[in-house]
Amino acid sequence: MRLFLCEKPSQGRDIAKVLGATRRGDGCLIGTETTVTWCIGHLLETAPPEAYGEQFKSWSLDHLPITPAQWRVEVKPKTAAQFKVIKRLLSDAATVVIATDADREGEMIARELLERCKYRGPVQRLWLSALNEASIRKALSSLKSDQETYPLYHSALARSRADWLIGMNISRLFTLLGRRAGYDGVLSVGRVQTPTLRLVVDRDRAIASFVSVPYWEVEVHLSAMGQSFIASWLPPSS
């Protein structure tokens, strides 16, 4: 059985329609020799700090930084049922075609499942630019080798682990320091969210401190070759 692994149900339905896999199964669509199944975004997530030791359940400066020697992932509880479906299908698959989104996150969504379920069979990559019938058929006629897109998985994995290291460690650090200063809440820090917050704060402060000043626009009415027009003076940049 050839198994197509998609990123979301709607994507799976579009691909299954082209493949002729129309019989409904448990979390999948089934054809003659092809089955199409799907994730619901990431079905796995990086384990929290306490998964690496009971001592990390309590927040303490003495435990920082937390740097896992061997990274662990866990099945997301909300989508555990679909994970079980995919795990069962992978055990029966002769070939897997990764049909997730054509980007690094799509690559990670599929690859982390193959690793978690210890799938060792052949892998191909369906590289889609759109989900209309013509685009799907074109992509099916030129499947990529799994090694061609495998580096995208490592790129997404690096992003995921960097987010974890920064978020888990620095959030705990700032929260604990905040408690020393009398703040009882959690101070969340993130690789993207914190620089973005800084940009928002800077802009808000600039708006708050803005003082309007009068200004004038200089225009001149000109004519040339029987045509009249208005030109605006642009002062040189200071």
* Per-residue pLDDT tens digits for 6-45: 999 999 999 999 999 999 999 999 999 999 999 999 999 9
pLDDT digits (tens, 9 = 90+) for 87-135: 999 999 999 999 999 999 999 999 999 999 999 999 999 999 899 999 9
Q: Quick check: is 185 in a domain?
A: no
CATH number at residue 38: 3.40.50.140
Q: Quick check: is 145 in a domain?
A: yes
Helix axis angle, 9-19 to 133-140, nearest 10°: 70
Q: Quick check: is 137 in a domain?
A: yes
Res 237: pLDDT: 77
Count of structural domains, the chain: 1
Q: Quick check: is 221 in a domain?
A: no
Res 238: pLDDT: 64
Range of the domain at 113: 2-164
Q: Which residues contact 209 (CB under 8 A, 6 or more apart)?
A: none
Q: Quick check: is 25 in a domain?
A: yes
Query: Exposed/middle/buried for 45, CB within 10 Å: 0-12, 13-18, 19+?
Result: middle
More confident residue, 20 or 235: 20
pLDDT at 60 over 90: yes
Q: Quick check: is 174 in a domain?
A: no
Q: Quick check: is 220 in a domain?
A: no
Residue among 124, 130, 158 at smallest CA distance from 142 = 124
Q: Quick check: is 154 in a domain?
A: yes
Say what the pTM is.
0.83
